[in-house]
Chain A
Amino acid sequence: QVQLQESGPGLVKPSETLSLTCTVSGDSISSFYWSWIRQPPGKGLEWIGSIYYSGSTNYNPSLKSRVTISLDTSKNQFSLKLASVTAADTAVYYCARGPWGWFYFDYWGQGTLVTVSS
């Protein structure tokens, strides 16, 4: 059974960089398509970006200038960095898997709340 688990600080100061890691178990990260999605409190879902097992990336243009997603195949992890955060970046951040060749999300982590505040 595939499992994904987000980890990282729950509180980030404005203008700093948000950093999260997703650890994948039950499957190799050297396949499929791995994504970050966020959900502000009480609101809907926003796709942040994705990385293929090959290392190529695809980002939401609305966040592209601030986002970096990377893979660490040795640890079976992938990571998100979001720079220059503001209060508008406060959200539950989910990592998710997409099946090979498709861009929907069949497995999700439990999510982690990141609050941007001084």
Chain B
Amino acid sequence: EIVLTQSPGTLSLSPGERATLSCRASQSITSSYLAWYQQKPGRPPRLLIYGASSRATGIPDRFSGSGSGTDFTLSISRLEPEDSAVYYCQQYNNSPWTFGQGTKVEIK
């Protein structure tokens, strides 16, 4: 099973700043089969990024994904108040599909 470790646990930033979230895999994820989701309280996760860097339909270009192998990053440029949420990475390279433990982004 591929274990995904996200860091930091919590990120507290001001509106307009840039957020950088990390997702590290316990083994290499070939073909960049990694997705990112945003989850707000009481809501289901929302797909942001798939294939490590492709934005899902309707996702603003403030959200971008990068990385390969074992190290992946989600960047949120120009933070807005509505970006306050927990962000999860998910690998779909090897079954069982697994999620990271999440990074909470707080907007000051």
Bound complex: CA A103 to CA B47 (Å): 12
In the assembly, what is the distance between CA of A58 and CA of B97, in Å? Answer: 10
Given the complex of chains A and B, what is the CA–CA distance between A44 and B50 in angstroms? 19
Bound-state Cα–Cα, A61 to B94, Å = 12
- Complex interface: stretch among A10-18, A24-32, A68-76, A104-112: A104-112
- Cβ of A62 < 8 Å from any Cβ of B? yes
Chain A residues with CB below 8 A from B88, complex form? 44-45
Are the C-beta atoms of A62 and B92 separated by less than 8 Å?
Answer: no
Min C-beta distance of B95 to chain A, whole Å: 6
Contact B101 A103 (CB under 8 A): no
- In the complex, the answer to whether B99 meets A104 with C-beta atoms within 8 Å is no
**CB distance B99 to A44 under 8 Å?**
yes
Interface centre among A58, A61, A105, A109 (most CB of B within 10 A): A105
Q: Which of A82-105 contact B (CB under 8 A)?
A: 94, 96, 102-105
A46 CB contacts on chain B under 8 angstroms: 99
- Bound Cα distance from A37 to B100, whole angstroms: 14
A60 touches B45 (CB 8 A): no
Distance in angstroms between the alpha carbons of A44 and B47 in the assembled complex = 15
A55 CB, min distance to chain B CBs, angstroms = 17
Q: In the complex where A44-B88, A45-B88, A58-B95 touch, is A104 in contact with B47 (Cβ < 8 A)?
A: yes
On whether A105 and B101 interact (CB within 8 A), knowing A47-B96, A60-B96, A62-B96, the answer reads no
Select one of B56, B96, B100 contacting A106, CB under 8 A.
Answer: B56
Q: A44-B100, A45-B99, A104-B50 are in contact. Are A109 and B92 (CB under 8 A)?
A: no
Contact B90 A104, beta carbon cutoff 8 Å: yes
Q: How far is the CA of A44 from the CA of B44 in the complex (A)?
A: 12
CA A104 – CA B102 in complex, angstroms? 16
Q: Are B96 and A61 in contact (CB under 8 A)?
A: yes
| A47 engages B44 (CB within 8 Å) | no
B47→A105 contact, CB < 8 A: yes
Given A104-B50, A105-B90, A108-B46: 7 more A-B contacts, CB < 8 Å: A44-B100, A44-B101, A45-B99, A104-B33, A106-B47, A106-B50, A110-B44
